[in-house]
Structure 1
């Protein structure tokens, strides 16, 4: 996929950050289920993302990159500091974090798996509005029509079901579902990996346009450095739960320091 990340300034303030973030899953054995060790899915990762910027998290399967995204949104338990704007998410309980959830959304890898086959597009996109009680019922349809236009889908198709759409269209539905809540931060977990190259390019172009229009901040998870290069201003390279290398995209691409990063680059290009 071609294209360049959205033009940004380095004067933008830091908007999302973590300090020494850890997600360890216990390995339990015996009748008493004693913890004998841990799977260190995320092991002391620190990161910073500026407002309106994209951070790419790259690594092979099992590197911990998806777990990092879930932990950032407090969708799984973690240790360490998570800051979102002026709020420390790690200090909040579930009740306190609920009102903030609409500002932080996730788009998953498999749109067919993450969209209910029994719900129409309209029902899928409006679900978040109902949960967060954001719009009066009479205004919801207008919101849904608007957001479907934003992701380049014909609003007339909103009464259809996911199986009636192509993979690229389904991913647009998933993006619309997140976007309708007017979030400021999106975690994009391999959103283009199940699509062919031409459709990938279209979805990346859409994400760039949405970022520019709404000043969105992205955490973009991928195993593909070509895609990261087309969207992200900065990169973190992960392996076995650890951040091996981090920095501006151009710097990492042109002068990788870690052998693992060099291997990923060789595989991508």
Structure 2
């Protein structure tokens, strides 16, 4: 995938297909490859799939926050000249998508969240990682999924590398604290953007009741469950995730 990435100014991103842009926002410990299933499927359905790399570790510590990332996405959408987009976010990416939708509703015609933070204060991990403890990191990575085998050695190695870097670890903790501070419960009832909520029934990071709360608080939302599924539905059950999302997009005439 790295070979397909474009770099324009401060933006690095992947763009595939033509049509309404689906702008995908990855999580704190996630990457663009988490959405391989979405990348393969939706360009064939008449959508442009766009994955910007979030500048999680390249901004100054003072600017490392959910709010700054939401502004970054707005700047990216403006840079690309998109008029209306569908925002899709997992975990921290869902939180950023929610905040961007609140701040810039004119840019977002549809919102899709899965395993999103924004309501649940432990969503970013209550015991954040110990440097140099590979087995601890491995267990935390496996806990993200219903099937621990989904946490491949490559995924565990990537997380371990991130938290072993002191600068990245400090920024990871700053982002987690920012997400906890930025609870969106009071904002959601005023957000009228059509929203698709796809959630794993076995999510240990953002439990099922979080999805129910999102669905209750958002005025125009639909909630879909995936069984035997943890925090990253688009990775564990990519085919079902794509079907649920595609059916919702068709239903909403997006």
TM-score (norm. length: structure 1): 0.28
- Greater share of helix: 2
TM-score (norm. length: structure 2): 0.29
> Greater Rg, structure 1 or structure 2?
1
Question: Of the two structures, which has the highest relative contact order with CA contacts closer than 8 Å and spacing of 6 or more?
Answer: 1
